[in-house]
Amino acid sequence: MTRTRAVSRALRVALAAMVAATLAACAQGGQSAGADDTIKIGALIATTGPAGSIGVGIENGIELAVSDVNAAGGVKVGSTSYKLAVSHYDTAGDPATGLTQLTRMVENDDIHFLIGPDTSSVGNAILPFLQQHQQDLPVIVAGAGLGPLTKVPSVFRMNPTIAEYNKQNIKFQVALGAKRATIVTDIKHAGEVEATPQTVADYQASGIDLISQETMQTGQTDFTSMIGKIRAANPDVVFLRMYADEQLLFVKQARQLGWNIPITGVNATPLDRVGVAIPAAAMTNVYEVSPPTWANLEADGSAAAKQAVTEYKGRFNADPGGLTFVGYEAVKALAGSLTQAGTVDPGKVIGALQQLKPYAGQLYPLNAQGGVIFGPGHEISVDFVAAKWENGKIVDTESVK
């Protein structure tokens, strides 16, 4: 054999190997697993800005779940065990920033599994991008309750819609015996604005007279004139549809004005915000209607929730946030879908999410929906509870029926 032929044969072997590697990569559908058997996840969460106090808890929940999965040996996909790695993309709750971060995540950083967003305004901004990638970008929403998000075939939501939060709040107001209600809506909150027509219809069906609708904006700091106006209308209950920080500020100012009317909200207040953002004594006659938090589950005797809370406090030196479990469970659900798909091909993982069965490590108390996690419209089903605050402490938690 001549040297020229030997070189040619070596080149053919090398080219064949390159082609085989390329075909293998294509077969994975652009998946984010590297040679070190690591699956990369992108977390599109607002950890700064008006929703930052909620987003930090969600992001920490994601981090904790990734650590738990990896400590247990990783995700078994077919015959291979993969570790998880998460990259965080702070949106600051800003729509343009959210779209820029998501584009960078997918097109520059080659990450094809998404958890988030947590704000509806960002969800609204990234909808066209998600539609363009509906065959190759599995998404588990963690926080954002905007209804249209899950109309994209590749998008699944690990928390109820805003409309469902509002519906459950109204049911609880009926149980309180309310006959006249006022709602206060953040007009910069895309999910609340989108849900308003349905919420008004739910009030009409409930028998409660919605006597007034007030609006505010994210970042508003003075509610005193609005509180005076609402008080003059004499409702039985005020329903706050806004982020947690503004919600606490409204309650604080109402109590400073000597008005102790029952107030219900859609956000589960981070425990460490009470006594800081609001005096403990002012956090009285306040009801937060939401899915159970880890604190609720721990109080009910859940050993798994107790362990999760202990791990969380030890790692982050803080109490879990009201939506921490959403971020945590989104990771567990994604891991379950990878195992059930038997592949890291994003397109096939989307199919597995559509038929996702209960998975290892599930903590969030989801209701069965024909044997799958994500039911009609790619939404979960979970019972709601009403947590009652008195003097800065949750003194009672009851199911909303």
Q: What's residue 33's pLDDT?
A: 52
- What pLDDT score does 6 carry? 40
Of the candidates 111, 35, 82, the residue with the CA atom closest to the CA atom of residue 339: 82
CB neighbourhood size of 143 (10 A): 28
Does the pLDDT value for residue 46 go beyond 80?
Answer: yes
What pTM does this model have?
0.87
Mean pLDDT, the chain, as a whole number?
A: 90
Is the CA virtual torsion 190, 383, 336, 379 positive or negative? negative
Q: What integer is the mean pLDDT of 226-230?
A: 98
- The answer, yes or no, to whether residue 29 has pLDDT greater than 70, is no
Per-residue buried b or exposed e for 208-235, using 16+ beta carbons within 10 Å of the residue's own CB: bebbbbbbbebebeebeebbeebbeeeb
More confident residue, 133 or 13: 133
Over 90: is that where the pLDDT of 20 sits? no
The residues facing 241 across adjacent strands are 185
The residue assigned the tokens 């044997």 is 371
- Kindly state the percentage of the chain with pLDDT values over 70: 91
On whether the 163-290+385-399 domain is CATH 3.40.50.2300, my answer is yes
Confidence of residue 278 (pLDDT cuts 50, 70, 90): very high
| Strands across the sheet containing 209-216 | 209-216, 180-186, 237-241, 263-265, 286-290, 385-390, 393-399
CATH of domain 38-159+305-365: 3.40.50.2300
pLDDT given at position 272: 82
pLDDT at 378 over 70: yes
The predicted structure's pLDDT at residue 268 = 77
The residues near 46 (Cβ < 8 Å, ≥ 6 apart) are 52, 54, 55, 90, 91, 92, 93, 94, 117, 118, 119, 122
Which residue ranges make up each domain of the chain?
38-159+305-365, 163-290+385-399
Using the 8-state DSSP alphabet, how is residue 400 labeled? -
Helix 324-341 vs helix 346-354: angle between axes, to the nearest 10 degrees? 110
Under the banding of pLDDT at 50, 70 and 90, the label for residue 16 is very low
- More confident site: 391 or 272: 391
pLDDT digits (tens, 9 = 90+) for 66-106: 999 999 999 999 999 999 999 999 999 999 999 999 999 99
User: What is the rounded average pLDDT of the residues 230-245?
Assistant: 96
What the block records as the tokens of 215 is: 């609006």
For 172-198, how does the pLDDT look when each residue is reduced to its tens digit (9 = 90+)?
999 999 999 999 999 999 999 999 999
Residue 57 pLDDT > 70: yes
**Least-confidence region, from 142-151, 159-168, 200-209, 262-271:** 262-271
The more confident residue out of 359 and 33 is 359
Q: Where are the beta strands (DSSP E) in 168-230?
A: 180-186, 209-216
Tens-digit pLDDT profile for residues 288-317: 999 998 888 888 899 999 999 999 999 999
Percent of the chain at pLDDT > 90 equals 81
